[in-house]
Amino acid sequence: MTVLLDSNVIIALLNSRDKNHSAAKKLLTKLKRPEYGMRITIDYILDEVLTTLWMHTRRKDGVEKAYRLIRHTPEFIRFNHVKSDIFDSAWEKWEKVASWPEKPLSFTDSCILSFMEKHDIEYLATFDSDFDGLVSLVFG
């Protein structure tokens, strides 16, 4: 099994003032168990994490910690880049879902879905309800 971590889980884990901080800690403890396999993320999520942490905390040390955790701690999370085939698939997906009023996914969310499809990733760890019904979700 492989689990992709969404930005809101990582942000909540690293920001003690985040409303989901306790839930993120509990979820990550759960995901360390062997039955959950590898935890991965993508460059678009890294961008969201760094940007959001900077905007909400203005703490350079926190942003640097997040960057090191995601980019240089493979035992915590495996980092991947969105390649052009996934990018193109995400664009097609976004064009279809952007007009859905009930599921107005961002382009980053479309990249997540396309990456998961391409790499046969079974689960997404997220606090984002926009993914309900689109992929299998993991909660704390």
Q: Range of 126's domain?
A: 2-134
pLDDT tens figures, 93-128: 888 877 766 667 889 999 999 999 999 999 999 999
Positive or negative torsion for Cα 86, 80, 123, 19:
negative
Asked which of 48-52, 80-84, 130-134 is least confident by mean pLDDT, the reply is 130-134
Q: Is residue 103 in a domain? A: yes
Q: Is residue 139 in a domain? A: no
Q: Is residue 86 in a domain? A: yes
Q: Is residue 78 in a domain? A: yes
Domain count, the chain: 1
Q: Is residue 140 in a domain? A: no
Structure tokens that stand for 24 in this block: 């993120």
What pLDDT is recorded for position 25?
96
CATH number for 12: 3.40.50.1010
